[in-house]
Every structure is written in C-alpha cells, then in structure tokens.
Structure 1
Amino acid sequence: MGLSLEGHKVISAKEMKRVEKLSIDEGACDETYMLKAGEGIAARVEAFIKENRLEKTVTLLVGKGNNGGDAFVAGTFLLNRGYQVEAYHMVSTKESSPLCQKQEKAFLSAGGEVKRGKDLSFKGVILDGLLGTGFQGKLEDKMAEVVQKANRSKLPILAIDIPSGVDGNTGDMDPIAIEAKETIFLGLPKLGFFLKEGYNAIGKLRGVDFGMDVRFIHEAKAVAHLLNEKMVPELLPPIIRNRHKYQAGYVIALAGSPGMPGAAMLSCLAALRTGAGIVRLFHPKGMEGELTTSPYELIRTSYEWGDTSQIFEEAKRASVALMGPGMGKLEEMHAFIQKVVRGLEIPCVIDADALFHL
C-alpha cells in the first residue's frame, strides 16, 4: 500500500524518532509497527518486480537494528508469496536488536536462508535494510565493502526508509552509499532525502504506512511540505480583475554582476511569469550593455557597490525581495549583502551567491 507524496510533511529523522517514541510511550507496539512496515515493504517490492517483469528473487541486506528487522519481515512475507529470498546478515544474531533477532527466526522458519561472513552474492532485487535514518559520518569498512559490491552488481536496489550511508537529517552521505532505485520510506519523508548528496541517492520515493495513529503524524513538526504544480495555484491569492500593479505584487531583485547577466534575467522573468505587477532589477553599474535584451516589462536600476540607499527606499513600496542570482562571490560583496539582508523589512528570497556570503 503506497502513500501519496503530495502535501506530505517533510520532517527530520530526529523528529520521526521522537513521535514514534511518543506513540510507543502511549501504548503503541513497536513490533506491530515492524510487522506492518514489513508487509508494506514487501508489497512495494512485489509491485516493483511485476512492473519491471523481473524474476521473483530477492536478496536482503540486513543490519543489526530495526531496519534489519523490517527487512526480515518483508522477506518472510515474500517467501510466503512464493518468492525466492535469501538474506545477508552483517552481524551475528546475538549482536542484533531483540526485534531483529525475533524476525530473523521467523524468516528462517518460513524457509529463508541467512548468510554471513564473506559468503556474499546477489540475486534479483536487492532490499537494503542495513542502516536507518540515524546514520551519521562514515560507513565501517565491512559495511562499505558490502554496499560497494551491491552498487557494482547493477541489480536494482530498493532501500528501506533511507539508502544506507545517507544522513536522514542533513543529506550528507558517505562516498560509498547505497544507490537506490527506490526508497521505501516509513511514515513521513525525511529532510535528508532532499538535501545535498542524499537527493541523488534516493531514487524514486515510495511511502509506506506502518500503522502509526494519525494524531502522531499531526504532532510531528514539519520543516517543509512536498508540493506539486497542481497544488501551487491553491496557495496563491485569487486574481482580482480590476487590480492595479501594486496589488499584483512588487518584486525587487538584487541580481547579476558584470559578465553574469543570465541569472538576473532568468530570475526576473520568473517573477514576471508568476504574475507580479512590477519587477525591478537592481544591478551593479557597468553592466547596462549586457541587459539590453531584457524584457520591456522589467525596470532596471543600477547601483554603486556598497550603496544601499536606493534599495532600502524602493523596498518601502515593494512586496518582496529576491537576492543572489549571478551576484558573484567577490569579497567586496560580503558586507553589502549582509547589510541589505539585515536592513530589509519585507520577505526576502535569498538564493545562489547571496547564500555564499551569509
């Protein structure tokens, strides 16, 4: 059973852990969660195999924690559906979490095979249950070797909750991390999916409901929300037919630098395309000739390095500011950008080179 991504909260891995613990403290059962998660993961693996017309063969990569337990549960469900499933377990049974130990036993009872040590081979679809969203830093050598072999096998890899080797909070990634075809996340998508190298590692996102009461999902503190193009119009104010240009929004953009007019032009065109009534580009003196092809609708105002007086005066009438695209990374820009950011009293979208100076 998949979850639609539209409108989903995006939360940190730490926040997911907090609300899960809160639900367990209030009477939920972590084993019930694991069984429900494993069932959903198995269903997604089965769907992936059918969609891609693959053989009914799965290799589990199992760590010592509850992600490993989820993998064993999924493997048991798949065995019961006629799949050939074998597991490679990174540690001995006694080194695993109690729930992982229990699910390994159930997997073996269902006819599964568990391998350890250097007896490592891959068949069919690989299901990554090595590490969870709490991973930080670098993979241990033995783990890195397994991950590298999995990636080099060129077999499709589906990751449970997050590709092993990716930090669920920051998106930081070990240089050798699982390269997933799909990530089957549990509950809510994690911030690390969308940051830094993590975004390249996750493949397609597929959500699985593991049975947490919806009130705990509402309790979770979001750091962002997932949107699509169909949802955005609902978030915008209605268009009034007899509106004047200031009612449609006045955007001031600080963008561009000599030799880099493109980013300034594109960002201002984007602002015009959204329906802004006025877009004014503040650009450094000396690049007027590079902006001769700018649209007629765009107002251009040049400024001297370090002089913020015009910008702050115009900001009194503006609705929103944009700062950064194509401004460059010259040292003299640092104090200027800092001064503008601190002095603006309207919402400001800070992007590109402006982020470098903050």
Structure 2
Amino acid sequence: MATSLPQSFYRAEQVREGEQAVARALSIPLYQLMLRAGQSVFDCINQHYPNAARLLIVCGAGNNAGDGYVIARLAKSAGLNVTVWSLVTPNKLEGDAATAWQEWQDCGGSYVEHPPTISQFDVVVDAILGTGLSRAVEGTFAQAISAINLADVPVVAVDIPSGLCANSGCVKGAAIDADMTVTLIALKQGLLTGQAVSYRGKLLFAGLNVATAFSRQCTPAGYLVCDDWIEQYLPKRARSAHKGQFGRVLCLGGDQGMAGAVTLSAQAALRAGAGLVKVVTQKAHTLMLVTRQPELMTQDWAPGQSLSETLAWATHLVIGPGLGQSAWSDALWTIAVSARTPKVIDADGLNKLARQPQHRDDWILTPHPGEAARLLGCDTKDVELDRFAAVKAIHTRYGGVAVLKGAGTIVYDGTNYAVANVGNPGMASGGMGDVLSGVIGSLLAQGVDLFPAAALGCYLHGKAGDKAAEAGERGLLASDLLPYLQQLVD
C-alpha cells in the first residue's frame, strides 16, 4: 500500500542498480518485487477509484509492462472487467516481464493489438514506459499516449508517467498526463520538478517493503524539505528572547515606481521572524513604506552618499527587489554587492550579476527560469529541459547557494540538492519572488546557515502560498502569504 512520500530522492540509475542490490542482500527474487509493485498499484486503484469496474491496462515493453500484466491478473481475479492493450508483441518480452505475461495468460487473460475505445473504461493504467527512457517517444507509443490523453478517463501511471525523464522531469516527445502516479521503491528526482509537476497528478509512494533497506544502501541524490526542518532550524524561542538575537536585515531596492517589491520583501522578513528590518530605497518611497508597515526602518539614498554605517549595521542583506536598471540602481548595486556580508540576491540584482559575473561563497541566488537563463547565457527552454543541471551550473559559475524557482523549486550548494514540493499555480503572480527573498534573508538573520535557509525559505514560502490558496488560486496576491508565514514559523 502507498505511504507518505519519503524525504530522500534518487536518480533513476541509482534506483535500478539499488533495487537489484537490495534484492540480493535480502534474498528476494526480483519477480517478487514485481508482484509487490503490481499489488501496490492495484491497491491504490481500489482505494482511489473504488467504483471502477472496467480497467484498460496499456502495456509497452520491459518491466513496466510486467507490472501492468501483474495488475491485470489481480484485477481479473477481483472480478473486474480487464482489457490489456499491448503496444508490442508480448512474446518478445524477457525475464520477469515475460513471466508476468505468462501468468496473465495462464489465468485466461489476453490482449488487443489495436486501440480500443478508451472512453468506455473507468480507469486507464499506464504501464507503457518506465524510468529507463533515453530518447524521444515516437511512433505507436506516441500515438497511444496521445489517445489516452485525449480520452476523458482517469489515468494511473505505474512508477512514472510514460514519456517523462525520470532524472530531469522533462517530456521526451510525448508524455502521459496522469491523474495519479504510484512510484516504486524510491522517489525519482524527475517527478518533483518542472514539467513533471503538470503530468504526474497525485504522487503516491510504494516502498514494496524494501524502501528502508534501499535507503541504507544508497546515498540520496537529494532531499525533500518537510515540516521537520521548521522544528530543526527554528526552535521555540526562550521566554527571555529579545530582538537583538534575531538579526538585522537590510533590504536594498525599490527604484522609481517599484517600491512595492522591496516593501513585500521587507514585510516578509519581519513576518518570518527577523529582529529588525531596514529598507534603503528612493526618497520618494520612505513615507509610503512606514505608512504601509510602521515596524520598518527606512533610509533614502542617492548616488554619492555613504552607506558604510548602514551596511555595518546589517547582519544580512537582501539585494534586488524593485532595484531597477537605472543609474541609481547601478550605483546602489555596486556598493551593496561589495559588502562582505551574507546576502540574498534576487530580481534585478540577478540581472546585474549576469552582466558582471562574480563568484562568491557568501550569497544565495534566487532566479526564476528567465533570470537563470540570463545568468547562464542560454534560453529559458534550456533551463527547463534539466532544472537539476541548470541549478548546478549556476552554483558552479557564481558560487554560494543557487535556488531555481518554479514548480518544484530546487536548491543546490555544490554538494546537496533540496526540493520544495509545495506551491501552486496561484503563486504565478507579481511579488511572490520578493516575498521569498525576504523570508530567506530573515532565516539567515536568525542564525540559519545558507543552504538550509534557502531550502527552508522556499518551503515556508510555498506552504504559505498553499494555505493562502485555500480561498482560491486565481487572484492570489503575494501579500496574502504574509499572515501564513507568521503562523508557520511560530
């Protein structure tokens, strides 16, 4: 039966190799794992679609097809009306998949070669392609995927939606648009980010009673951020606590017409628990800032004025929200980025960094895919083709901790990957990134190191967005997150 998602994730090749190693170590035949996989997926179908009476199971080649034949046999034994649509001649199957096909035959099962009327079924099971996909889907397989996607029938994917790359999450030509994915033995990193988030549907996990042994043998590729991180990095404060213990965040930005961005960042820093927050911005914005949030300190600045005392006051910097591209912003950027103070770089700060690259170990960079493309000198589509590779490339070129925002935000520090498996489409609106930069700056100010501050900040930001979206996703505002941030860090 499916359980909650594990906190570790892996590359596809790690899972394939680790599965065999664990089976040997536990003296479990690999076919026994296939039987467990089929049973787990069938159990999920029964749980989530209890009224389904007619199943279409679409099988390709390899072990994914073998899982499909096991599911077909179990469903038939349970009295369901089962049709198997095989995209390859089953007698070409080998190993455990061939055994599963033979057992399906032995119980009176058969298959069809030509596309059935998909709309007559209650559930479609995708057992076409597994995690070993290395090239674009085409021909009969692509046609079958298209037909399944066009039908108005729930789809359950076995291990991964066919056509998705298990490592990058990108679509290889065509991919199943699943309503539910039951991933097996270990969590594949490609299911967590980018295009995969739109194709996987509800993500469930079945460890097949070997997940614990697997995790002991295999080093994770990375980790999912979870609620445990909040307790670990933001413990309850002592009753004697005072504001001086929780840092001083300095937010720099807000060029003409863009005061809202730096305001949101500073407000988020306050709501996430920073002791003191000050904003350096255009003179015209200072009254608006304190009117909007009287707890903020402000300082107007013009080129030629000194910022040395203000920079010395700050324990951490947030540079970029609403910074703009003017002479004023260029001058402010030059002074702020040279400070030897841990910092978060966002928005126009990232655009300036792309034009004048530097490598530092004391910063967190928080680009969205468009900003990431400018940092790497490539197209946005190249970033989205492999988000794990892109965030690694940003770190390699610029140092520090790199955050690649988007569906399934990824954080990387040169050694560790973390993914924030939270957030929703309502967060695709102006100001959300400004709130995130303030949250991360606040965590740094409260003593959290760069990597966990970036990862936990992304998690808190996405989770606050999910709570705010309970009232509706469309029309969600960045400022709607602020009260939920306070609840989450308490």
TM-score (norm 1): 0.84
Distance 1:97 1:168 in 2: 23
Structure 1 residue 40, shift from structure 2 partner: 0.8
Q: State the partner residue of 1:308.
A: 334
SS at match of 2:111: strand
Q: Which residue is 2:266 aligned to?
A: 268
- Give the secondary-structure state (helix, strand or coil) at the position aligned to 1:185: strand
- The RMSD of aligned alpha carbons is 2.9
Shift of 1:228: 4.6
Which residue of structure 1 lines up, in the alignment, with residue 295 of structure 2? 297
**SS of the residue aligned with 1:106?**
helix
- Is the contact between residue 250 and residue 279 of structure 1 (CA under 8 Å) also seen in structure 2? yes
Cα deviation for residue 37 of structure 1 reads: 0.9
Q: Is the 8 A contact 1:268 1:298 kept in 2?
A: yes
Output the CA distance in 2 between the equivalents of 1:261 and 1:12.
Answer: 43
Q: CA deviation at 1:221?
A: 2.6
Name the CA distance, whole Å, in 2 between partners of 1:110 and 1:25: 29
Deviations 1:267-305 (A, max 9, x none): 33222211111334566x688479646523344565741
Q: Secondary structure at the match of 2:183?
A: strand
Pairing 1:232-247 to 2, within 5 Å after superposition:
232-247=230-245
Give the number of equivalent residue pairs: 342
Instruction: Tell me the equivalent position of 1:120.
Output: 116
Aligned equivalent of 1:351, options 364, 367, 371 = 367
Partner of 1:90: 87
- Partner SS state of residue 157, structure 2: strand
Task: Tell me the equivalent position of 2:14.
Answer: 15
Partner SS for 1:3: coil
Taking the aligned partners of 1:242 and 1:215, their CA distance within structure 2 comes to 45
Amino acid corresponding to residue 247 of structure 1 in structure 2: Q
User: Residue 311 of structure 1: CA displacement?
Assistant: 4.3
* Aligned residue among 103, 106, 125 for 1:106: 103
More helix by share: 2
Matches within 5 A, 1:53-64: 54-64=51-61
Q: Larger relative CO (CA 8 A, sep 6+): 1 or 2? A: 1
Rounded Cα–Cα distance in structure 2 between residues aligned with 1:129 and 1:135: 13
Secondary structure of 1:72's counterpart equals helix
TM-score with structure 2 setting the length: 0.63
Structure 2 SS opposite 1:70 = helix
One-letter code of the match for 2:348? M
TM superposition shift of 1:312: 4.2
Question: For the Cα contact (< 8 Å) 1:249–1:277, is it kept in 2?
Answer: yes
The residue number in structure 2 matching 1:322 is: 344
Task: Choose the corresponding residue for 2:164, options 163, 166, 184.
Answer: 166
Displacement of 1:84: 1.1
Which runs of 5 or more structure 2 residues have no equivalent in the other structure? 302-327, 376-490
Q: Which moved more, 1:33-42 or 1:11-20?
A: 11-20
Query: Partner residue of 1:3?
Result: 3
* Number of the residue aligned with 1:140: 138
- Measure, in 2, the Cα distance between the counterparts of 1:227 and 1:29: 34
